[in-house]
Structure 1
Amino acid sequence: MGLFSRKKKTDPATEEAASTPVEGEGAAAAADAPAEPEAPAEPEALAEQTPEVGISFSAFRGVGAPSGPEIAPPSDEPAPAPAAPSAPAQPGPSVTRRPAPEPTPPTRPELPKAPAAPPTQLETVPGLRDNALLRDALAALPEKPTGPQVMGVLRQMLQGHVFLRVKGDARQQIAEGKPVTFGIARVGDQNFMVAFSSGKALRDAVQSDGDTETSAVAQPVAALLTQLLKGDFGGIIIDNNSAPHRVVLPRDIIEQAMNQADPEFRLKALLTAPREADTPHKVAALLAEAPPLWVAVGSLAEDQTKMGIAEARLADGTRLVQLHSHPLEVVAQGRGEKALPIKVVKLAKMLRDHEELGGVLIDPAGPLITLTRDELAPVLALEEE
């Protein structure tokens, strides 16, 4: 597989993001509210609290390799390996799989990257399960986040659920078939949805505005963002009362992210869930169902006129094709590569034609997982269309 040099990417131009929260209607599966359920703050107050965040609208412009360039196939020629992801060495394809990777080193990588293993602390308020990956990404935000750091939060939001605040008892309202009104904020002439990543973020909001006559509902992120784009919302604010660990995601960025995402976020959901013994087999089975996948491509170090597909090499020399669940996963690598869609049947043929490839590494920016050739048996069995 062709490897290529990675030049340092210059900071893309940024554009100021509008800041606002919203009120919408809709039903969601009710979740137990935190000990002190929170109430939506007044829109004016939220507007004052909402930060202006510079978000790089050019991040998506690097997505999609131009048509026409020659993509170099895997080769046996030695080449310098790309920056190694923080994953432990794994055996070759014919050896029994080692345990799931542990995040090493213990310190969290700087956004937009994340630890290799998914979070293990799943609650900050007893009995209320957080969107731990989104929560931790927000916790890593500095006071003045950069565009790539905000994109790092967005990529971690493409899975799981978030919480919405509801005036009154959400369970009772849903049971009685009454309309449920969610908290919103308004800035200028735009409404923004307001959502929360964790029980702690909900509690912070309650403590901030003092309105305990509220409850919370959990909503799948995919459904919520779909609802947002069907409406006239200007975007979404996550953890508005948890400054500086909050973020404003404008509609334009959300729309571009959703246009290129698996509508159900299936692969990302598997990679972010607590690892179990059968997780690799679940991931392989999902890959065989042909979810959207991308590879990272860039110029070959030895021939800048040709393009190569990025691969990783483990400590024992095992070569892995790098796969990505969303183009933002390529952007998060910060290597100036472009995301190229790849069909699963093409991946299967690549692996069959090049037995020296030991498997795949999915989402190197974290959380990640590696699959050996044996574990990829459902994929290898696919025939090209």
Structure 2
Amino acid sequence: MALFSRRPKDPTPADDAAVPADDAVTADSDATGATPSGDASAEALTAEPAPSVSISMTSFGGLGSGPATPPPAAPPAAPEGATKRVLGPETAPTEGVESVPGLRDNILVRTALTDLSTPPAATELLQVARQLMQGHLFLRVKGDARAILSEGREIPLAVATVGERRFVMAYSSGAALQASIQADGDAETSALAQPSLSILRHVLAQGYDGLIVDNYSAPARAVIPVELLTKALETHDADAAVKTLLAGARTDQTPSAVADALTRAPLWVAVGQTPDGRPGLAEARSAEGERFLELFSHPLELAVLQRKDRAAPVTGAQLAAALRRDTQLAGVVIDPAGPWIRLRRDDLAPVLALPDETPAPGSAAPAPDAG
């Protein structure tokens, strides 16, 4: 059963989606013959356009452009400045996660939106995008979403029009949903939570121009252009295994669960240069001087740090080889921008148990070395 309705070829907005010329954002439903869903009531849409900025590919700090082969086999110690890293929040907020009782917000996306400037900087939109790699978003559906699903009908998406561009509309929180109802006055709608990655994939598959998150919650709203979504999904983990664990509640089992995920999830390291121009992998150091290799669950996690390092892919087996070769590494720190976790060697037993990779014929690139 298809959950989302397909985008019609050469869509034209319905008559009731028209708004005065000075309103740059209009909205309609994307189901053929369907009435606009509640958050897509154009007549009542009086908010200013959701903020958007032009993001060049250089803003990604190498997102998706890392080498297809493993990083250098034996770089020297971490680049100058790779120590004493400033870490973001270790865990996701655990209080105030329901801005409306009974609806759990995507607290990381909500927080990233709250931190936006006016207008937002490119790096701030990257912050929003990286948090979209986990959790859920809400859709507003005209009528009873459960009934529509039980009848096997497709869910009509609310779509906003910005000039000739069309954006799917989604919400990070119950409060953002309430703001949309207050904006259009249509209470005959229901909320439907869907995995964020499912929504992003649908945006790309159906040829939309991007995603608007929390359109009625200015200034805490953002336009995520399709170019950014495309780059993000080119390199994402389809299961979002590591990111989901880091975003969730921490328990005594979290370190072992993350370590197990590292054995199969795509990972990245930060490759920089030492003062003498040689490559090196970025490390962090504890107050006691212990060395921890920095790992990233997605290149966006490195991009938001605004460093000159480049994201390079690494497998669990290559990570294991690097840890075995450099016994002075105390462990790894994952996603330093937060939520993050530090795993010591004892925690990394599942990774260290991985066998060395057998190089493909004609390829002699061994595992990366942190120093």
TM-score of the pair, normalised by structure 1: 0.79
* Shift of residue 25, structure 1, vs aligned partner: 5.6
Alpha carbons of structure 1 residues 65 and 41: separation in structure 2 relative to 1, 3 Å? closer
Correspondence list, 1:77-92, <5 A: 81-86=82-87
Q: Distance in 2 between matches of 1:362 and 1:80?
A: 18
CA displacement, residues 48-106 of structure 1 (integer Å, 9 cap, x when unaligned)? 6323411322223623346898564465x9966534233xxxxxxxxxxxxxxxxxxxx
Q: Report the secondary structure of 1:194's partner residue.
A: strand
Q: Does the CA contact (< 8 Å) of 1:348 and 1:381 recur in 2?
A: yes
Say yes or no: does 1:62 pair with 2:36: no
Aligned twin of 1:295: 269
* Shift of residue 280, structure 1, vs aligned partner: 0.4
Aligned twin of 2:205: 230
Alpha carbons of structure 1 residues 287 and 115: separation in structure 2 relative to 1, 3 Å? same
Say yes or no: does 1:245 pair with 2:220: yes
Matching residue's letter, 1:56: I
Say yes or no: does 1:120 pair with 2:121: no
Q: Distance in 2 between matches of 1:21 and 1:384?
A: 53
Aligned twin of 1:89: none
Say yes or no: does 1:285 pair with 2:271: no
CA displacement, residues 194-220 of structure 1 (integer Å, 9 cap, x when unaligned)? 000000110111111111011110110
Matching residue's letter, 2:247: T
Aligned twin of 1:266: 241
Q: Report the secondary structure of 1:364's partner residue.
A: coil
Q: Distance in 1 between matches of 2:135 and 2:127?
A: 16
Aligned twin of 2:104: 129
* Shift of residue 265, structure 1, vs aligned partner: 1.4
Matching residue's letter, 1:375: D
Runs of 4+ displaced beyond 6 Å: none
Say yes or no: does 1:319 pair with 2:284: no
Aligned twin of 2:17: none
TM-score of the pair, normalised by structure 2: 0.82
Structure 1: gaps (5+ residues): 1-17, 27-37, 87-113
Say yes or no: does 1:308 pair with 2:280: yes
* Shift of residue 353, structure 1, vs aligned partner: 1.0
Aligned twin of 1:13: none
Alpha carbons of structure 1 residues 79 and 197: separation in structure 2 relative to 1, 3 Å? closer
Q: Does the CA contact (< 8 Å) of 2:246 and 2:340 recur in 1?
A: yes
Alpha carbons of structure 1 residues 20 and 315: separation in structure 2 relative to 1, 3 Å? farther
Q: Does the CA contact (< 8 Å) of 1:166 and 1:214 recur in 2?
A: yes
2:326 to 339, 354, 357: 354
Alpha carbons of structure 1 residues 244 and 321: separation in structure 2 relative to 1, 3 Å? same
Q: Does the CA contact (< 8 Å) of 1:44 and 1:185 recur in 2?
A: no
* Shift of residue 180, structure 1, vs aligned partner: 2.4
Q: Distance in 1 between matches of 2:161 and 2:137?
A: 20
Structure 2: gaps (5+ residues): 1-23, 358-371
1:173 to 148, 154, 165: 148
Q: Does the CA contact (< 8 Å) of 2:38 and 2:188 recur in 1?
A: yes
Q: Does the CA contact (< 8 Å) of 2:270 and 2:281 recur in 1?
A: yes
CA displacement, residues 325-351 of structure 1 (integer Å, 9 cap, x when unaligned)? 111111111111110111111110010
Q: Report the secondary structure of 2:194's partner residue.
A: strand
| Identity across matched positions, percent | 44
Q: Does the CA contact (< 8 Å) of 2:66 and 2:310 recur in 1?
A: yes
Matching residue's letter, 2:124: Q
Say yes or no: does 1:344 pair with 2:319: no
Matching residue's letter, 2:284: A
Compute the RMSD of aligned alpha carbons: 2.5
Aligned twin of 2:168: 193
Q: Distance in 2 between matches of 1:356 and 1:123?
A: 44
Q: Does the CA contact (< 8 Å) of 1:293 and 1:342 recur in 2?
A: yes
